[in-house]
Amino acid sequence: MARARPVPGFADSGSFCEAAARAVRIRVEEVFERAEGVLDIEDIERVHDMRVATRRLRAAMEIFAPCFAKKQRRALLNEVKALADALGARRDADVAIVALERVGDAMPAADLPGVEHLVSELRDEQQQANDELAQALDRIEAGGLHERLLALTVERAPEPAVTM
């Protein structure tokens, strides 16, 4: 799993919301940097890294919620969550297949058909989840999610209310 990229100038931020803009910008970039090769089911770490990046972005958007216009933030967060769900469905199948194959390697040959049956079902689910992930990636590309998330960090609008 890739470590989170440090946020330059974070500790020196003059205010909570100045730190928010810096942190969210870096976390947005991390998500989209990890999109390459994510549909490759032979290299399951790519989908894992992008999923973790979406988690970190969601966390930052939630931590710094008071720094952004509520309606805009919620709408963007929902889109990030939809992407995270698609990544999560692929990841769940990836992880289950690896775990079952590991168990299968330790089983006597007579026990293998049952495990292989389960792996076969999971491979179908993995492919379906990958197709859905491809659609999700197309949607965020067409909808300009990357650019809109970056714009959020530029046009941040702290609200007088301090609830999230």
Partner 1 sequence: MKGLDPEGPLNENLRRIVAVRGAELRGLGSAVLDPGDVHALHDTRIAAKRLRYVLELGEPVLGPNAADGAKRARHIQHVLGELHDCDETLPRIARVLERLRGEDATAIRAGLAPNASDVDPESLRRARHRRKYAGLESLAAYTRARRDVLYAEFLRIWTDLEQSGTLEWLGAGAG
Contact 7, 40 (CB under 8 A): no
Binders of partner 1 among residues 139 to 158 (CB under 8 A) are: 158
Tell the smallest beta-carbon distance from residue 160 to partner 1 (Å). 9
Question: Does 6 engage in binding with partner 1 (CB under 8 A)?
Answer: yes
| Binding test (CB under 8 A) with partner 1, winner from 117, 128, 141, 151 | 117
Q: Is 88 in the site for partner 1 (CB under 8 A)?
A: no
For the chain, the straight-line distance linking the first and the last C-alpha, in angstroms and rounded, comes to 30
Q: Is-contact 64 20, C-beta < 8 A?
A: yes
Compute CA distances 5 → 2, 30, 53, 70, 102, whole Å: 9, 8, 10, 26, 32
Interface residue with partner 1, options 35, 69, 100, 134 (CB under 8 A): 100
| Residues 50/34, Cβ–Cβ less than 8 Å | yes
Site of interaction with partner 1 (CB under 8 A): 4, 6-7, 10-11, 13, 15-19, 23, 55-56, 59-60, 62-63, 65-67, 95-96, 99-100, 103, 107, 110-118, 121, 158-159, 162-164
